[in-house]
Every structure is written in structure tokens, then in C-alpha cells.
Amino acid sequence: MRMKWVALVLGTSLVLAACGGNDDASDKPASESGETTTAGAGDAAKIYENKCSSCHAVNLEGGVGPNLTKVGAKLTKADIEKVIANGQGAMPKGILEGKEASMVAEWLSKHK
């Protein structure tokens, strides 16, 4: 019975994490919210924190999802983008798309 509860809690957490947060302007790219900014590592880190950290942790050490602290030593930017686009294991596809996915993949590829 206890394992059923653990599975239920983990499954629920994964589903809620995949939702990716709310739809207010602070989560939208600058082009959609009317702001003009230059994209950088800080933007990628913020996107990661908003959309990915619930599974991979803010410090990249993992939780429900795998540890990403040295993902750049194992995967290229293109490989990381493929995982983001297509999902892998319990990770659903399409949590990030387009420019956001590319920015986060580039940022993660530098973690070696």
C-alpha cells in the first residue's frame, strides 16, 4: 500500500511539473511580452528554473529527473535539444520549444 502512495505522489508531481507554470507575461519570451532584452545565460537559467527545476532541482542535482550538473560532458547542445524536444524516459516532450529550448540546451551544454 505504501508503494502505491509513493507512486501516486511521484506521478502527480511529474504531471504538475510538466505543466510548466502559469501564463503571465514574466514567463513569456521578450518578443511576446513586449520587452526588449538580449538573451543570455541568465535568461536560460531563469527559464530552466521556471520550467525544469521542479524535476531536476534548481542546483541541477536531480530529484524526480536525472542529475544535470555535468550533462554537457555527456551530451552536445544538439543532443540536449533533442531530449527537450522529444522527451526521454518519464520526461514529456515539448516542455520547452523554439528559442527557449535552444537557450536552455546551450546553457546546459556548458555544464561539464
- Taking the whole predicted model, whether its pTM rises above 0.85 is answered as no
For the chain, give the percent of residues with pLDDT over 90. Answer: 62
Query: What span, in angstroms and rounded, lies between the C-alpha atoms of 97 and 95?
Result: 7
- The reported pLDDT for the residue numbered 41 is 80
pLDDT confidence of 32, banded at 50, 70, 90? very low
Predicted confidence at residue 28, as pLDDT, reads 45
- Best CA proximity match to 73, nearest among 58, 60, 63, 88: 60
Query: Where does the pLDDT of residue 4 fall: very low under 50, low under 70, confident under 90, or very high at 90 and above?
Result: low
